[in-house]
Amino acid sequence: MSQTGEYASLIKVLPPEVSNKIAAGEVVQRPASVVKELLDNAIDAGADHIAITLQNAGRTLIQIRDNGCGMSEADMRLCFQRHATSKLQSVDDLMDIRTLGFRGEAMASIASVSQVTVASKRVEDENGVEYEIRGGEEIRLEPAATDDGTTVTVRNLFFNVPARRAFLKTDATEFRHILLAIHQAAISHPEIMFDVEADGDVIYRLHTRDLESRISELFGKSYRASLIPVAESTSLVRIHGLLSDPKLAKKTRGEQFLFINNRPFLHRHLNYIIQDIYKDWIQDNQYPFYALFFEVDPELVDVNVHPSKQEIKFEDERTISTFTRSVVKKALNDHMRVPVWDPDINQRSGTIPDFEQGFSDSRSFGPALRRPAIHKTGFQDFKEYRQSIPGDTADSLYGQANLDEHVQRDLSRHPDDSGSPGPGSGSTQPEQELESQALNKTSQYRKSDFWQVHNEFIISQTRNGMFIMDQHAAHKRIIYEKVLGEAESGLASTQQLLFPKTINFSASDFSLLKELHPVITRMGFNVQLLSGNSAMILGVPSDIRLDNEQHVLESIMEQYKRMAKTISLSEKQRVALALANRAAIPRNKKLGEPEMEALVDQLFACEEPFHDPLGKPTLRSLSVEEIRAMFR
């Protein structure tokens, strides 16, 4: 055989079972991918009632039942052929896509990596048909008595691809991905009823509602009163939907929804724009809820740019982005009642508008401390600056309030050691001398080994120099090791609540709570799981201050979700870190000397005192030589 012939024979057409598994790698990434594709088919079939049943987060069972148009026997066979679809007839149809599915790849890909049974019946047919296919191979096709519509049952996902099955995450994680797919379908189609069950538990019974009611059904009744309607349009695009009050912002993403012609999509730039508009009302690393719908001529948007059809491309990205910013900013400003500055009106009235009254109660702004600018240096300028600040604030910032009460009384009522009268007797003694006396008398009553700087750092002298400790990082390390130790020994202390607190969770958060329940119980929480995505808090760890137990538990869960995406720690370590973050002494908290001393002692009793749980330093040391070198 010639050399050319040898090279030509190396290229072969892959058999269908191999090519389908390759395609499945793009289409079917996890159980949520299967749920999404089957929901798309049910919606495209015109169903107004869809039931979803899951077992083991979709690993062992995913079943979708709908009352849509159903399939004939001929369509049933074609349904599992690659690139067989009822939604496209020509290449021109790619520029006018109005359905969720259109490629004809999903069913073939799903069937190649699972055991699938489909039962379907059209309204006009007397009997239905049932088709079973396993790992891409047809098992049987026969008539069956079934209801109108289609029921697709997928069992043992990735049974023939063990490497893919091994890469699946925990049931709670996979279930949260499934819930995201369900949320997208339910929000984009509030006119459809959805029933969701998982492992025998009812997760949702979503009735036909308006969008606001659907959101409150999915995420809680508290959302209903905090939603901001949006509706604006131009000749290019119509934007409508719901924003949320900033107070609903959470520490983790997951409640941000964008839809193009009722199709969910991802768009980093649009998400950035919306987040940027909210930044004046929410903290860093918080994310607001929103569900925005974009209605655009299908010819002006390309939905065929991503294997899973999650990303799209607008023909006029700039106009869409600019209009989105304008619409969201206007709706949010109207809701927050941001005043509009009119220089003519304010010049005539001679007043400045009261900006604080322009904000709703959802965000309160305390009185700002306007410090005068300091343009000179020296002690006199420092005194003028100090005296310009209100008394209580000046005392707390510059030390007068830290003098012991009996020292202050001495300075105001009694003469000093030299016989000079105190300031309360009308003395004209120089102020510098009085300050010196105050320092001398303070040193007689207090000799501190620890000093706090800006209510954030602790400083103390050592044999060879000094150290500076971050009080928050240090306490985080202390609690982290304490919680882990108690969880290992099973000796965590719990403070019981006088009045137990019942909390309603979203379905995804309740799933996470069930997953973490054994761990948080060993760490001191006493939480009873109830039906209907609710739980009752009976007790909390002794390190947690009793004030808002619901916020404590929800905060720990939010931090856990955020860390799960960025930090490689075990489940127990992530919970311990989340608890330590929540319970640790905050920065900007004033500490007394006994508290500082106890904190230092507890830190050096830790196994790893020099770093917090994430490896950031808890303290730094400076030798005498290093300090001297600063002044050479």
Question: Chain centroid to CA 547: how far?
Answer: 23
**Which residue matches tokens 């007394």?**
592
251-297 pLDDT, tens per residue?
Answer: 888 899 999 999 899 899 999 999 999 998 998 888 999 999 999 99
Question: Chain centroid to CA 475: how far?
Answer: 25
DSSP string, 188-204: H-TTSEEEEEETTEEEE
200-212 pLDDT, tens per residue?
Answer: 989 999 998 899 9
Judge whether 476 and 612 are in contact, CB under 8 Å.
yes
Neighbours of 68 (CB within 10 A): 22
Range in 82-86, 326-330, 399-403, 462-466 with the lowest mean pLDDT: 399-403
Q: Would the pLDDT of 84 be above 90?
A: no
Residue range 48-52: mean pLDDT, rounded: 96
Q: Which two tokens stand for residue 520?
A: 């948080």
pLDDT, residue 224, reads 87
157 in a domain, yes or no?
Answer: yes
Question: Looking at the structure, do residues 232 and 196 belong to the same domain, yes or no?
Answer: no
266 in a domain, yes or no?
Answer: yes
Q: Would the pLDDT of 56 be above 90?
A: yes
Question: Looking at the structure, do residues 292 and 386 belong to the same domain, yes or no?
Answer: no
Q: Which is higher by pLDDT, 9 or 112?
A: 112
Question: Domain ends where: 392, 409, 443?
Answer: 443
CA separation for the pair 30, 258 (Å, rounded):
22
Q: Residue 195: which CATH number?
A: 3.30.565.10
CA separation for the pair 557, 560 (Å, rounded):
5
Question: Looking at the structure, do residues 557 and 522 belong to the same domain, yes or no?
Answer: yes
Question: Looking at the structure, do residues 474 and 526 belong to the same domain, yes or no?
Answer: yes
Close Cβ partners of 66 (under 8 Å, ≥ 6 residues apart): 42, 45, 47, 49, 50, 51, 149, 150, 151
Question: Looking at the structure, do residues 299 and 153 belong to the same domain, yes or no?
Answer: no
pLDDT, residue 174, reads 92
Give the range of the structural domain holding residue 290, as residue numbers without chain letter: 221-336
Mean pLDDT of the chain, nearest integer? 79
Distances in Å between the Cα of 515 and the Cα atoms of 180, 529, 533, 581, 612 are 18, 11, 13, 20, 26
User: Structural domain tally of the chain?
Assistant: 4
Q: Which two tokens stand for residue 321?
A: 């982005």
Close Cβ partners of 385 (under 8 Å, ≥ 6 residues apart): 371, 372, 374
Question: Beta strand pairing status for 237-244 and 227-233?
Answer: antiparallel
Name the band, by pLDDT with cuts 50, 70 and 90, for residue 3. low
pLDDT, residue 307, reads 58
Question: Looking at the structure, do residues 537 and 506 belong to the same domain, yes or no?
Answer: yes
- For residue 541, the cross-strand partners are 494
DSSP string, 340-386: PP-HHHHHHHT----SGGGS-TTS--PPP--PPP--S-SHHHHHHHH
Q: Would the pLDDT of 90 be above 60?
A: no
Question: Looking at the structure, do residues 124 and 240 belong to the same domain, yes or no?
Answer: no
458 in a domain, yes or no?
Answer: no
CA separation for the pair 93, 102 (Å, rounded):
10
408 in a domain, yes or no?
Answer: yes
pLDDT, residue 99, reads 65
Range in 110-114, 193-197, 316-320, 430-434 with the lowest mean pLDDT: 430-434
Question: Chain centroid to CA 621: how far?
Answer: 37
Question: Looking at the structure, do residues 527 and 399 belong to the same domain, yes or no?
Answer: no
Q: Which is higher by pLDDT, 610 or 443?
A: 610
Q: Residue 494: which CATH number?
A: 3.30.1370.100
Question: Quick check: pTM over 0.85?
Answer: no
pLDDT, residue 443, reads 38
CA separation for the pair 419, 402 (Å, rounded):
25
For residue 178, which amino acid is it? I
State what percent of residues in the chain have pLDDT above 70. 75
Question: Looking at the structure, do residues 75 and 160 belong to the same domain, yes or no?
Answer: yes
442-456 pLDDT, tens per residue?
Answer: 333 334 588 999 999
Please, what is the end-to-end C-alpha distance for the chain in angstroms? 85
277 in a domain, yes or no?
Answer: yes
Q: Which two tokens stand for residue 103?
A: 């490629």
